[in-house]
């Protein structure tokens, strides 16, 4: 049984919980090595404090669960069967009347909660596994770091493909297609999020995406991408120059790069998340672009692209070795240009190491 599951069993025991019901696919993957989005079907990992856990899954996933390395019980159900009733029966065979439940309150829908209550009318739900998971995934193990490094190498390759794909007459969406096709040919079948390519003024929308905009000379082009490696993700951003952008765009890039480098240098154990955010924000504020830096400096990452810790103002969490997070200052001037430069890093005993190594000095593409 994985160490993560043993730790969860201890948590249940220490808090006198009878059962943990886990339904978030990312959390299930963290504990078991198996990932699947069940869509409307039932996928659950059931954990007890002192008995073996089991997985309940659609019948079509049972072999995949075993192939992923799960060597404990896995029970399947067919679409025409009463899945919830079967799951309740399997639980009762192990723990006849579990009263105190721990669930992912950020993930459990009202509908599923009501179904569980129907089958276990005496159940109480004091445990919030959402908070437990945030802390459990906060410090990465050496094995997790190695998977994140591998994902980072894949992201670096994706950047090389992306830069080569920049040509007049192509759209942002054309470039995305080239990136993802090249990654699939390399055996990387999943990006960690929808690949972002934004040119010129479109890059001023930090939560925008690729459109049918034609790439034009003398504009900045922003890339934000990542891959999934053994369930662990990469996430990085680079901004490049197609031709020679105007002086304002070049100044934005210069300031953002200075802020990113300064935050990278400052990221080490002992600094707080708020202090690290301030390092980058002060540089951008001083240059007169503070109103255009409209998001936090970074977010945690691991098996998903948004985990703890959140690197932002007001978060006084002290950063520690093994924490993994992004450092991604951005400057977005509406109707003009946008720049974001991002690396995800892991903290060492005295500093940090990035997972991506693509150069951040402004690259000019003719």
pLDDT digit string, tens, across residues 334-350: 999 999 999 999 999 99
pLDDT at 120: 97
Q: What are phi and psi of 192, to 5 degrees?
A: -75, -15
In angstroms, rounded to a whole number, what is the distance separating the alpha carbons of residues 362 and 253?
8
Band (1; pLDDT cuts 50, 70, 90):
confident
In angstroms, rounded to a whole number, what is the distance separating the alpha carbons of residues 136 and 140?
9
Give the C-alpha distances (Å, rounded to integers) separating 81 from 78, 84, 109.
5, 9, 21
In angstroms, rounded to a whole number, what is the distance separating the alpha carbons of residues 241 and 250?
9
pLDDT tens digits for range 60-102: 999 999 999 999 999 999 999 999 999 999 999 999 999 999 9
pLDDT tens digits for range 145-193: 999 999 999 999 999 999 999 999 999 999 999 999 999 999 999 999 9
In the chain the first and final C-alpha atoms are separated, in Å, by 54
Band (305; pLDDT cuts 50, 70, 90):
confident
pLDDT at 208: 84
pLDDT tens digits for range 111-136: 999 999 999 999 999 999 999 999 99
pLDDT at 209 over 90: no
pLDDT at 2: 83
Q: Which two tokens stand for residue 225?
A: 């991408």
Beta-carbon-side half-sphere exposure of residue 109 (alpha carbons within 13 Å): 5
Q: What is this structure's pTM? A: 0.91
Looking at residues 24-30, what average pLDDT do you find? 93
Looking at residues 53-66, what average pLDDT do you find? 97
Give the C-alpha distances (Å, rounded to integers) separating 133 from 18, 39, 242, 288, 358.
18, 22, 43, 39, 31
Band (207; pLDDT cuts 50, 70, 90):
confident
Looking at residues 101-112, what average pLDDT do you find? 95
Contact status, residue 318 vs residue 272, Cβ threshold 8 Å: yes
pLDDT tens digits for range 224-261: 999 999 989 999 999 999 999 999 999 999 999 999 99
56: Cα separation from own chain's centroid = 25
Residues above pLDDT 70, as percent of the chain = 100
For the chain, give the mean pLDDT.
96
Looking at residues 300-315, what average pLDDT do you find? 94
């Amino acid at each position: 049984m994985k160490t993560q599951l043993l730790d969860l069993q201890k948590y249940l025991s220490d808090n006198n919980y009878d059962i943990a019901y886990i339904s978030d696919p990312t959390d299930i993957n963290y504990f078991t090595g198996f990932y699947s989005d069940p869509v409307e079907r039932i996928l659950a990992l059931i954990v007890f404090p002192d008995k073996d856990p089991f997985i309940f899954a659609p019948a079509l996933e049972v072999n995949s669960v075993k192939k992923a390395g799960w060597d404990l019980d896995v029970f399947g159900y067919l679409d025409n069967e009463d899945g919830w009733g079967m799951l309740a029966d399997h639980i009762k065979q192990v723990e006849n009347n579990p009263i105190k439940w721990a669930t992912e309150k950020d993930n459990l829908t009202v509908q599923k909660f009501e179904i569980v209550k129907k089958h276990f009318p005496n159940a109480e739900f004091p445990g919030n596994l959402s908070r437990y998971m945030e802390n459990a995934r906060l410090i990465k193990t050496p094995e997790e770091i190695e998977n994140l490094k591998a994902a980072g190498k894949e992201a670096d390759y994706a950047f090389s493909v992306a830069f080569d794909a920049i040509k007049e007459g192509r759209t942002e969406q054309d470039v995305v297609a080239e990136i993802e096709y090249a990654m699939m040919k390399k055996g990387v079948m999943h990006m960690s999020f929808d690949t972002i390519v934004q040119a010129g003024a479109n890059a001023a929308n930090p939560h925008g995406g690729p459109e049918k905009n034609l790439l034009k000379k003398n504009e900045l082009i922003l890339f934000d991408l990542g891959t999934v490696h053994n369930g662990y993700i990469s996430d990085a951003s680079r901004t490049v120059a197609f031709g020679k952008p105007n002086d304002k765009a070049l100044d934005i890039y210069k300031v953002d790069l200075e802020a990113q480098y300064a935050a990278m240098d400052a990221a080490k154990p002992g600094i707080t998340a708020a202090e690290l955010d301030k390092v980058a924000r002060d540089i951008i504020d001083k240059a007169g672009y503070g109103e255009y830096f409209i998001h936090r400096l970074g977010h945690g990452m691991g098996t998903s692209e948004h985990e703890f810790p959140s690197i932002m103002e007001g978060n006084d969490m002290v950063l520690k070795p093994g924490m993994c997070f992004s450092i991604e200052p951005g400057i977005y001037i509406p109707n003009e240009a946008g720049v974001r430069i991002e690396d995800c890093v892991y903290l060492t005993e005295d500093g940090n190491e990035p997972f991506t190594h693509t150069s951040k000095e402004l690259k000019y593409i003719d």
